[in-house]
Amino acid sequence: SDIPRHGWVDRFMPEGLVPYARLARLDRPIGTWLLLFPCWWGAALAWAADPALPVGNGLALAGLFALGALVMRGAGCTFNDIVDRDFDGRVARTADRPIPSGAVSVPQAVAFLGGLLLLGAVVLFSLNTAAILVGLASLPLVFVYPFAKRFTYWPQLFLGLTFNWGALVGWTAMSGSLGWPAVVLYAAGIAWTLGYDTIYAHQDKEDDALIGVKSSALLLGDRTRPWLAGFYVATILLLALAGIVAGLSSWIAVALLVPAAQLWWQVQDVKLDHPADCLTKFRSNRHFGWLVLATIIAFGVFARTGA
């Protein structure tokens, strides 16, 4: 099972709310971090690119994005579990999730999803008009992603397209309009997701093969490691390009070697036939997210002090 036992959800939440907390993955925050970092990266890059933007705006947006990522990750997981309830019941890692185990009925899950989407809408409509429109444009991707593994070996690509949309929203919310640096940053996030979610998919490759769903782990098999290297090299190159297009010093390409080392460790050390190690490497991408964010902010501070 992928459900943590005897964690804070079991210890502190009322018993009746525990299945809903698990449905929203409150006991597994890594997905929230992975959804949040592109938002923070986008806003931070816009701030770094324009010394006229006050830091207070960025801090306020950071809080809104944190709440939005928590709520929308919960909504995404709930929708995914509703769609995948039959598959989840046939996979060892997911069989005791709230819906296949019977702890939450489908109508209850739909009502819970509606509440989360309402909260997400409140956060989205707190942003400027351009950011609201960019955010709404992601809805088709959010709907399609849970079905992707039924028709393509690249559901990880659809996850990347969905999870990194926040880079576009973050930049637009901070700057007031969409720009090319945000688009390049979005592409970097997609490459990143292709890497970390392929590692994650190796946990389920045997069950996925048995029940007939697709993943990049099944497609790549023994060739996964060089592909991971390619995904992660593309991530770093595109992050550097995003910074340069945004007007930051070209030294950002050198500074990004620090987060690049974290990705290189994943590629070299991951044990693709050991689910626990795959999960550990997947979760380590939170550290990569922080390293990239710190790099962008450092260059923004440098741009201000240098001016």
pLDDT value at position 187?
98
Over residues 196-211, the pLDDT tens digits come to 999 999 988 887 887 8
Query: Taking the chain, what is the end-to-end CA distance rounded to the nearest angstrom?
Result: 54
pLDDT value at position 295?
97
pLDDT value at position 57?
85
- Can you tell me the mean pLDDT for 39-43? 98
pLDDT value at position 2?
63
SS (H, E, C) 198-242: HHHHCCCHHHHHHHCCCCHHHHHHHHHHHHHHHHHHHHHHHHHHH
pLDDT value at position 89?
73
Paired tokens of 177: 């309009």
User: Which pLDDT band, with edges at 50, 70 and 90, does 306 fall under?
Assistant: low
Average pLDDT, the chain: 92
Distance of alpha carbon 121 from alpha carbon 124, whole angstroms: 5
- Can you tell me the mean pLDDT for 283-294? 98
How many helices (DSSP H) and strands (DSSP E) are in the chain?
Answer: 19, 0
Looking at the predicted structure, is the pLDDT value of residue 253 above 60?
Answer: yes
User: Which pLDDT band, with edges at 50, 70 and 90, does 12 fall under?
Assistant: confident
Over residues 271-286, the pLDDT tens digits come to 999 999 999 999 999 9
Whole-model pTM: value is: 0.93
Looking at the predicted structure, is the pLDDT value of residue 184 above 80?
Answer: yes
| Degrees to nearest 5, angle at CA 36 with 112 and 123 | 55
Distance of alpha carbon 131 from alpha carbon 296, whole angstroms: 21
Q: Which of the given ranges, 49-58, 90-99, 214-223, has the highest pLDDT on average? A: 214-223
Nearest CA to 239 out of 187, 194, 278 is that of 187
Over residues 225-234, the pLDDT tens digits come to 999 999 999 9
Handedness of CA 69, 70, 72, 73 (dihedral sign): positive
User: Which pLDDT band, with edges at 50, 70 and 90, does 254 fall under?
Assistant: very high
Rounded (10°) CA dihedral 147, 229, 33, 138: -40
pLDDT value at position 277?
95
- Please tell me the least confidently modeled range out of 84-88, 139-143, 290-294: 84-88
Distance of alpha carbon 201 from alpha carbon 230, whole angstroms: 17
Buried b / exposed e over 269-286, threshold 16 CB at 10 Å, is ebebeebebbbebbbbbb
Paired tokens of 278: 């795959």
